[in-house]
Amino acid sequence: MKKLKIAIDGPAGSGKSTVAKRVAEALNYIYVDTGAMYRAVTLAALRKGVSMDDGEGLTELSAGIQLEFRPAEEGKGYRLYMDGEDVHEEIRSLEVTNNVSFVAAVAGVRRNLVRLQQSLTSGGGVVMEGRDIGTVVMPDAEVKVFLTASVAARTRRRLLELQAKGIMVNEEELQASIIRRDAIDSGREVDPLRPAPDSFELDTTELNIDQVVERILALALAKGARLDQ
Ligand code: CDP
């Protein structure tokens, strides 16, 4: 049976994580959230007081921490561990979110994390999501999807996600922070957020999760993947 590499890229709130997890489950592939790794380096920098404009310090930090995805105790999905500590909750904090794009713009940090990400893809059977997966991390992926949605739709989704966790935020501020992060991610010199030339672009503004998952699975099946029985 053919085990594919599936790359899912897109801006904040485009639905990558939810969709990538569901596609991985349906195919019984591993799921890798590369954003979590950039977030972990950011958390380490905040804890150690490394400045967000200290490229060398951030690069050194990213080389020195051990990152590992371990199966969640409740039996579904994976959680990111940093130096043996479960950080999956803390890496979603507002402080990490507001700083991560600066860390992710550092060439040395990217070099270290991309190497780690590529080590997880050998043999295929992987759904990886991020910003540069189809362009840099897995340019050989058989399926490349670039998800987009209007800023308003992406803000609304993030708002609901945060509300479900009991976190109340101001909608305007949230939208401004999404726009700011998109601008840094798309405008940076190293591996900016952009669709791979051979990617399938999908505007999810008017689509629900099931519809997006279905379309990606259809692409994977057409390339020879099989649904997990
Ligand atoms: O889930 P959300 O869209 O908020 O973000 P994420 O996927 O957790 O990624 C957080 C940040 O990490 C992004 O805004 C990018 O700055 C960076 N990132 C990146 O540069 N390259 C990747 N492959 C993944 C994330």
At 46-99, the pLDDT tens digits run: 999 999 999 999 999 999 999 999 988 776 778 999 999 999 999 999 899 999
Give the CATH architecture of domain 5-220.
3-Layer(aba) Sandwich (3.40)
- Residue 22: CB within 6 Å of ligand 1? no
- What does the alpha-carbon distance between residue 95 and residue 22 come to, in Å, rounded to a whole number? 28
Point out the ligand 1 atom lying closest to the alpha carbon of residue 10: 3
- Taking CB atoms within 8 Å and a gap of at least 24, the contacts of 166-171 are 169/94
The residue among 162 and 77 whose pLDDT is bigger is 162
Point out the ligand 1 atom lying closest to the alpha carbon of residue 105: 20
- Residue 141: CB within 6 Å of ligand 1? no
The pTM of this model reads 0.95
Close Cβ partners of 16 (under 8 Å, ≥ 6 residues apart): 8, 9, 10, 129, 130, 147
Name the residue type at position 190.
Answer: V
- Residue 34: CB within 6 Å of ligand 1? yes
Candidate from 185, 190, 193, 194 with most ligand 1 atoms within 8 A of CB, to mutate: 185
- The tokens 């053919």 sit on which residue? 2
- The tokens 């991390």 sit on which residue? 137
Point out the ligand 1 atom lying closest to the alpha carbon of residue 133: 23
- Taking CB atoms within 8 Å and a gap of at least 24, the contacts of 73-80 are 77/21, 77/31, 78/30, 78/31, 78/33, 80/33, 80/36, 80/37, 80/40
Tell me the per-residue pLDDT of 13-60, one tens digit each, with 9 for 90 and over.
999 999 999 999 999 999 999 999 999 999 999 999 999 999 999 999
Close Cβ partners of 78 (under 8 Å, ≥ 6 residues apart): 30, 31, 33, 69, 70, 71, 72
- What does the alpha-carbon distance between residue 30 and residue 178 come to, in Å, rounded to a whole number? 28
Instruction: Please report, for the chain, the start and end positions of each structural domain, with discontinuous segments joined by +.
Output: 5-220
Strands 30-33 and 67-71 come out as: unpaired
Closest protein CA for atom 3 of ligand 1: 12
Structure tokens at 160: 């609901």
- Residue 17: CB within 6 Å of ligand 1? yes
Tell me the per-residue pLDDT of 120-138, one tens digit each, with 9 for 90 and over.
998 899 999 999 999 999 9
